[in-house]
């Protein structure tokens, strides 16, 4: 009976942790991600991304081999026992390709801390998220998958407002991206610094160019 009660309590705690995770990684969690496009604003304005097919390819590249995948690796490294978050923060700062991306990481972190733990150390968003989720009893691949899906929603919301892209097409693209998200989460889970790479020069150039647009609605 005691063993049964312990197992039941464990299941309840795991369910509560999963609910907490889905809350803080929900696109509705108000940390300010809606204000950032990661250069997509410039890509759409310049014609590099013109339609739903272009959006799907862009987001898939960011998640599978771009800044999204790199961020997932940082998230995984930050969640590991004994992780040196200050050192990882310095590495993260050196790794981001554009000033706007650095601004985004700082602003989202501030919003995240305000809603979770105002006394938490000043870290880039993915490392603040790593600190918050490290103790959750949820498989890491699930944590990374939900993070990457939230990123996909963030980027697709840019197209909804700026292209514009219809809500139905947006949901179709998000569903089509599920295998890409799941694969990237599996590859990033448990990865180390050797896995840090990106090969999305177009997205990196867009992130840099967006900073110099005369008129823009997104901060990055």
219 in a structural domain: no
111 in a structural domain: yes
Q: How far apart are CA 116 and CA 35, in angstroms?
A: 20
7 in a structural domain: no
84 in a structural domain: yes
How many domains does the chain fold into?
A: 1
112 in a structural domain: yes
Task: Flag whether pLDDT at 94 surpasses 50.
Answer: yes
Per-residue pLDDT tens for 159-179? Answer: 999 998 999 999 999 999 999
Residue 143: what pLDDT? 98
Task: Flag whether pLDDT at 1 surpasses 60.
Answer: no
Q: How far is the first Cα of the chain from the last one, in angstroms, to the nearest whole number?
A: 56
Task: Flag whether pLDDT at 215 surpasses 90.
Answer: no
Task: Flag whether pLDDT at 184 surpasses 70.
Answer: yes
Where b means 16+ CB within 10 Å and e means fewer, 178-197 reads eebbbebbebbbebeeebbe
Residue 3: what pLDDT? 62
Residue 38: what pLDDT? 95
Q: Note down the domain range covering 203.
A: 52-210
Residue 13: what pLDDT? 75
167 in a structural domain: yes
User: Rounded to 5, what percent of the chain is helix, strand, coil?
Assistant: 70, 0, 30
The whole-chain average pLDDT of the chain stands at: 93
27 in a structural domain: no
Q: How far apart are CA 28 and CA 188, in angstroms?
A: 25
């Amino acid at each position: 009976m005691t063993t049964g009660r312990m197992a039941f309590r464990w299941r309840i705690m795991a369910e509560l942790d999963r609910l907490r995770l889905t809350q803080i990684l929900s696109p509705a969690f108000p940390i300010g991600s809606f204000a950032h496009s990661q250069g997509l604003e410039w890509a759409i304005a310049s014609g590099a991304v013109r339609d739903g097919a272009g959006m799907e390819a862009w987001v898939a590249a960011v998640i599978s081999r771009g800044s999204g995948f790199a961020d997932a690796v940082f998230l995984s490294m930050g969640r590991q026992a004994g992780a040196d978050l200050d050192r990882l923060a310095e590495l993260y700062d050196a790794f981001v390709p554009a000033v706007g991306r650095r601004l985004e990481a700082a602003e989202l972190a501030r919003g995240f801390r305000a809603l979770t733990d105002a006394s938490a150390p000043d870290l880039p968003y993915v490392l603040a998220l790593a600190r918050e989720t490290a103790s959750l009893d949820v498989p890491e691949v699930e944590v990374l998958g939900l993070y990457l899906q939230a990123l996909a929603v963030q980027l697709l919301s840019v197209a909804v407002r700026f292209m514009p892209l219809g809500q139905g097409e947006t949901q179709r693209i998000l569903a089509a991206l599920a295998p890409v998200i799941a694969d990237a989460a599996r590859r990033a889970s448990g990865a180390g610094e050797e896995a840090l790479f990106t090969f999305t020069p177009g997205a990196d150039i867009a992130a840099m160019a967006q900073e110099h647009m005369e008129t823009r609605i997104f901060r990055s």
